[in-house]
Amino acid sequence: VAHFQNSMEFPVNINTTQITTAYGHRALPKLKEELQSEDLQTRQKALMALCDLMHDPECIYKAMSIGCMENLKVLLKDSNSMVRIKTTEVLYITASHSVGRYAFLEHDIVLALSFLLNDLSPVCRGNLYKAYMQLVQVPRGAQEIISKGLISPLVWKLQVEREEEFQELILDTLVLCLREDATEALGSNVVLVLKQKLLSVNENIRSKAAHALLNVSISREGKKQVCKFDVIPILVHLLKDPVEHVKSNAAGALMFATVITEGKYAALEAQAISPLLELLHSPMTVARLNATKALTMLAEAPEGRKVLQVHVPTFRAMEVESHEKPQVAEALQRAARIAVSVIEFKP
């Protein structure tokens, strides 16, 4: 199998830090002209300069106002792989700023980038994934990716990309998109794909996959699929993971999946209560909160309620627990109170 590797070195040297000195107030307009040049090296030099300038939000705003974003869209289709690589680098740097995210939305960059999802250059694809990950940090960015029908392609790329860094970037993007709307993902076998990623030796991939399943399980259809595809036993297994944030996200996914009766009994059958009780003593507040809420769901089943009755003192202690952050203390105390009321419920 052939392997493609792109050098990050251009055939010419350019000191990008001197671009504004060289052109003064004409720096960006001049670069805009050079982006449209028929000369390959001229286009490359302009892109290198832009990579430096786009770290400044003011430059992004000016570049957008003079039409540079449209030039960059054209360069995404350039036949030269190094031009495409540098163009995607400019764009992911741009997307790291709020004004840059606005530019993405205003100029339909999301869709233009998507045509490079299968680019032969891994550097190019990596830049694309970084750009999408930056964009979804705001809800409008996630909604844009969803509206362009890109969830299914991203789920597919999560399966086929071998680079773990790329898998992590795709998962970061999917986590925030799934929070907005999981409909397309649920029709694209996302639960089965995430189930596979829960078994990864990479702790970040395990954690992010569990977080994605948490968001998938918010919807009723998501809960049903998590049960249907036997994901719950794996989530219960992850409650014993050596990494705290993996355990926390697994508990969060169980918290939602166990809302429905199928989920409750699948978790009880997988012996979820014991590791969830251990997680009540986690150093991570969110892990304790997720575990408390998951146990509350299990207590709604008579079998779960019976097992948890002897642990009421643990929840009582949490009801009066203090914390340096008042809002954290309040959230934990409220969750513990609800847990006690459900456990002590008399039918």
Please classify residue 285 by burial: count the beta carbons closer than 10 Å to its beta carbon, then call 0-12 exposed, 13-18 middle and 19+ buried: middle
- Is residue 161 scored above 60 in pLDDT? yes
CA distance 232 to 237: 9
In a domain, 153, yes or no: no
Average of pLDDT values for 47-56?
A: 93
Q: Any idea what the CATH number is for the domain that residue 59 is in?
A: 1.25.10.10
In a domain, 63, yes or no: yes
Q: Which range of residues forms the domain containing residue 47?
A: 27-137
Q: Which amino acid is at 238?
A: L
Q: pTM here?
A: 0.90
- Is residue 108 scored above 60 in pLDDT? yes
- DSSP secondary-structure letter at 309? G
In a domain, 81, yes or no: yes
In a domain, 4, yes or no: no
How many structural domains are present in the chain? Answer: 1
Distances (CA, A) of 330 to 89, 287, 296, 334: 44, 15, 17, 6
Residues of the chain with pLDDT > 90: what percent?
A: 87
CA distance 211 to 330: 24
In a domain, 41, yes or no: yes
pLDDT per residue over 167-226, tens digit each?
Answer: 999 999 999 999 999 999 999 999 999 999 999 999 999 999 999 999 999 999 999 999
The three-state secondary structure class of 153 is helix
| Angle made by CA atoms 312, 315, 321, in degrees to the nearest 5 | 145
Cβ atoms 258, 294 nearer than 8 A: yes
pLDDT per residue over 286-303, tens digit each?
Answer: 999 999 999 999 999 999
CA distance 251 to 293: 9
In a domain, 57, yes or no: yes
In a domain, 64, yes or no: yes
Alpha helices of 239-284 — where are they, by DSSP H?
244-257, 261-269, 273-279
In a domain, 176, yes or no: no
